[in-house]
């Protein structure tokens, strides 16, 4: 027997003798079981990702922030992963790298980046790429990366104020996984202000797809659409609108029509309205599988329901469609196709604020617009309100419809946007100003004169609350406009704000 063999035998004998003398403590077993249960609970909270071992089930979870007890998971098999030979550097210290073989990552689980394209070992770079390339969010204010489990982590996207400042409020939390042991991939994003119940993550969807859940945000607005996963050119999608709550989570539903071309990998994306021009909306996103979508001769968005209370100039989709047909035949009333002209006509004509006769700013997008209307204050233009408009129907020939205002130093917060009211309603908000005089009116598109009015309420101060009641009668339209206005320093009406209610 060699010297090494004899030494090994002595060590083995000593270890066995020591183990034989150890008495088990019942509390040790309880401790072990507790740790096992804790580990299991932690694993159940992993957000929206994919495993790296062969022949295992992958759970993609979209968490509801603030409601962790309702996390959903979906099992989906992954492709075989070939472990890399390189060692992963710490998060935040590396740059883009040459991608591994495309078979090493299941692309169905990934929102960004394309596993066959340029990859990154920095999770923050992955988040910035996803937000910038997929969602058109430039220079997002991000938290530090938090690694919640080995190869699993998250990054918070903060909201942004009117002046571009970073706010404490979190717009969304982006989930990431290191699927090949080296590179980080975005797998989902979730917001506590926007919870999607249907469809589920990784569900196969066809056009039109109904998106429903609960949401809260400015005017309760929810915009939903389907995006292409990587190249951005494979999906043509309408932006469907639903209405949730303003202050609390309330149900919403929106029907999204899309046409998918040569791609089966999509992103279901929904966002609220931030209420400010430079803001970052709360958003939720997760991967879906796309079927053939709408037929080639089907207009993306056709048949989608108008998700806002229709304030002015149309009271229904039928009225908007009737104008569209007439305009196509005779060219009548072309101003309906110009968001600025529609906002001015609403202000000077429908509301009767003739002194507010200028467009002093505009933010016009594909389906929505925010038009700043105002007047010449002597030293330059002054903004009276920012009018929010939405296309009433699909297509570029759909007319613009007024649906609300974006409020700053004069707000109308009560009643909540889209709520149902009785003939006497409590109205309130906040105001910043000196010696203000508030007038409240209730209007509908089919009536030239107000159907209710309350005047006049002295107000002022710094972000001071105001409240009054107004009664109305003769409501026949499906939606009513409540408008509060003030003035008297330079001209009769200098500022106003509106909200939408249902009688």
Query: Are β-strands 152-160 and 146-149 bridged in parallel, bridged antiparallel, or unpaired?
Result: antiparallel
pLDDT band at 198 (very low <50, low <70, confident <90, very high): confident
Whether this model's pTM surpasses 0.85: no
- 21 inside domain: no
Same domain, 374 and 329: yes
pLDDT of 501 > 50? The answer is: yes
pLDDT tens for residues 388-403? 999 998 888 999 999 9
pLDDT of 371 > 50? The answer is: yes
- Of residues 10 and 86, the one with the higher pLDDT is 10
**Mean pLDDT over residues 42-55, rounded?**
36
pLDDT of 59 > 90? The answer is: no
pLDDT of 60 > 80? The answer is: no
pLDDT tens for residues 291-321? 754 433 334 333 346 778 899 999 999 999 9
pLDDT of residue 291: 78
Coil/strand/helix, residue 218: helix
Both tokens assigned to 294 = 């709408």
Coil/strand/helix, residue 396: coil
Same domain, 220 and 335: no
- Spell out the long-range contacts of 155-160 with Cβ–Cβ below 8 A and sequence spacing 24 or more: 155/123, 155/124, 155/127, 157/127, 157/131, 157/189, 157/280, 158/280, 159/274, 159/279, 159/280, 159/282, 160/274, 160/276, 160/278, 160/279, 160/280
Q: Which of 2-11, 225-234, 334-343 has the lowest mean pLDDT?
A: 2-11
- 2 inside domain: no
pLDDT of 74 > 80? The answer is: no
- Of residues 236 and 3, the one with the higher pLDDT is 236
pLDDT of 174 > 80? The answer is: yes
**Mean pLDDT over residues 454-475, rounded?**
94
Calculate what percentage of the chain has a pLDDT beyond 90: 42
Same domain, 285 and 388: no
pLDDT of residue 292: 58
Same domain, 366 and 271: no
pLDDT of 202 > 80? The answer is: yes
- Angle, vertex CA 153, rays to CA 174 and CA 180, nearest 5: 105
**Mean pLDDT over residues 467-496, rounded?**
95
- Of residues 371 and 308, the one with the higher pLDDT is 371
As for how many domains the chain has, the answer is 2
Q: Which of 11-20, 214-223, 380-389 has the highest mean pLDDT?
A: 380-389
- 12 inside domain: no
Same domain, 283 and 349: no
Q: How many residues does the chain have?
A: 503
Q: CATH no. for residue 337?
A: 2.60.40.2550
pLDDT of 475 > 50? The answer is: yes
Same domain, 124 and 240: yes
pLDDT of residue 301: 38
163: left (phi over 0), alpha (psi -120 to 50) or beta: alpha
- 3 inside domain: no
pLDDT tens for residues 342-360? 999 999 999 999 999 999 9
pLDDT tens for residues 112-146? 898 888 899 999 999 999 998 888 888 899 999 99
pLDDT of residue 44: 36
Pick from 482, 454, 488, 491: nearest CA to 469: 454
**Mean pLDDT over residues 155-164, rounded?**
88
- 492 inside domain: yes
Which whole-number Å values give the CA distances from 42 to 39, 145, 307, in the listed order?
5, 18, 39
Same domain, 325 and 198: no
Same domain, 218 and 346: no
Same domain, 229 and 329: no
pLDDT band at 419 (very low <50, low <70, confident <90, very high): confident
**Mean pLDDT over residues 406-426, rounded?**
88
pLDDT of residue 306: 73
Same domain, 200 and 128: yes
pLDDT of residue 93: 43
- 303 inside domain: no
pLDDT of 177 > 80? The answer is: yes
Same domain, 361 and 254: no
pLDDT of residue 11: 45
Coil/strand/helix, residue 123: helix
Note down the domain range covering 209: 57-290
- 472 inside domain: yes
pLDDT of residue 48: 37
- Of residues 441 and 255, the one with the higher pLDDT is 441
Same domain, 69 and 217: yes
pLDDT tens for residues 207-227? 888 898 998 888 778 888 888
Q: CATH no. for residue 137?
A: 2.60.40.10
For residue 1, the 8-state DSSP code is -
* Residue in the block written with tokens 């009560």: 414
pLDDT averaged over every residue in the chain: 78
Query: Are 443 and 315 a contacting pair, CB within 8 Å?
Result: no
The Cα–Cα gap between 331 and 317 comes to 19
pLDDT of residue 53: 37
pLDDT of residue 52: 35
- 40 inside domain: no
What distance lies between CA 57 and its chain's CA centroid? 29
């Amino acid at each position: 027997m060699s010297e090494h063999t004899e030494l090994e035998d002595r060590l083995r004998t000593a270890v066995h003798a020591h183990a034989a003398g150890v008495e088990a403590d019942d509390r040790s077993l309880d401790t072990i079981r507790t740790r096992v249960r804790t580990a299991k609970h932690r694993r159940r909270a992993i957000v929206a990702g994919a495993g790296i071992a062969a022949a295992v089930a992958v759970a993609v979870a979209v968490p509801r922030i603030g409601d962790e007890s309702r996390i959903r998971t979906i099992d989906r098999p992954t492709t075989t992963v070939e472990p890399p030979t390189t060692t992963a550097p710490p998060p935040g210290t590396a740059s883009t790298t040459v991608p591994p073989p495309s078979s090493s990552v299941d692309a169905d689980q990934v929102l960004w980046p394309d596993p066959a394209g340029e990859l990154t070992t920095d999770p923050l770079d992955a988040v910035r790429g996803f937000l910038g390339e997929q969602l058109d969010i430039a220079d997002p204010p991000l938290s530090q990366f938090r690694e919640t489990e080995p190869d699993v982590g998250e990054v918070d996207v903060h909201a942004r104020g009117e002046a571009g400042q970073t706010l404490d409020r979190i717009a969304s939390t982006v989930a990431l996984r290191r699927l090949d042991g080296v590179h980080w991939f975005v797998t989902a994003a979730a917001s506590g202000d926007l919870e999607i119940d249907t469809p589920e993550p990784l569900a196969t969807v066809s056009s039109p797809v109904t998106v429903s859940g609960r949401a809260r945000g400015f005017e309760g607005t929810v915009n939903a659409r389907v995006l292409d996963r990587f190249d951005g050119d494979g999906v043509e999608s309408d932006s469907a609108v639903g209405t949730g709550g303003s202050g609390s989570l309330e149900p919403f539903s929106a029907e999204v029509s899309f046409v998918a071309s040569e791609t089966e990998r999509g992103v279901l994306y929904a966002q609220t309205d931030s209420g400010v021009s430079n803001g970052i909306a709360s958003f939720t996103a997760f991967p879906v599988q796309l079927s053939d979508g709408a037929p080639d001769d089907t207009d993306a968005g056709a048949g989608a329901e108008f998700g806002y209370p229709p304030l002015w100039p149309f009271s229904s989709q039928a009225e908007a469609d009737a104008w569209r047909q007439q305009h196509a035949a005779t060219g009548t009333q072309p101003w309906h196709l110009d968001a600025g002209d529609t906002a001015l006509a609403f202000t000077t004509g429908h509301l009767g604020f003739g002194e507010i006769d200028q467009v002093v700013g505009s933010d016009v997008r594909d389906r929505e617009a925010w038009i700043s209307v105002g007047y010449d204050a002597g030293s330059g233009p002054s903004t009276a309100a920012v009018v929010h408009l939405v296309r009433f129907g699909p297509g570029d020939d759909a007319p613009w419809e007024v649906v609300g205002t974006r409020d700053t130093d004069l707000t109308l917060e009560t009643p909540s946007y889209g709520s149902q009211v009785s003939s006497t309603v409590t109205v309130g908000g906040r105001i910043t100003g000196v010696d203000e005089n508030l007038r409240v009116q209730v209007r509908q598109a089919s009536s030239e004169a107000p159907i209710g009015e309350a005047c006049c309420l002295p107000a002022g101060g710094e972000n001071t609350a105001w409240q009054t009641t107004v009664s109305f009668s003769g409501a026949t339209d499906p939606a009513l406009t409540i408008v509060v206005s003030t003035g008297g320093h330079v001209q009769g009406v200098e500022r106003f704000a509106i909200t939408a209610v249902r009688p």
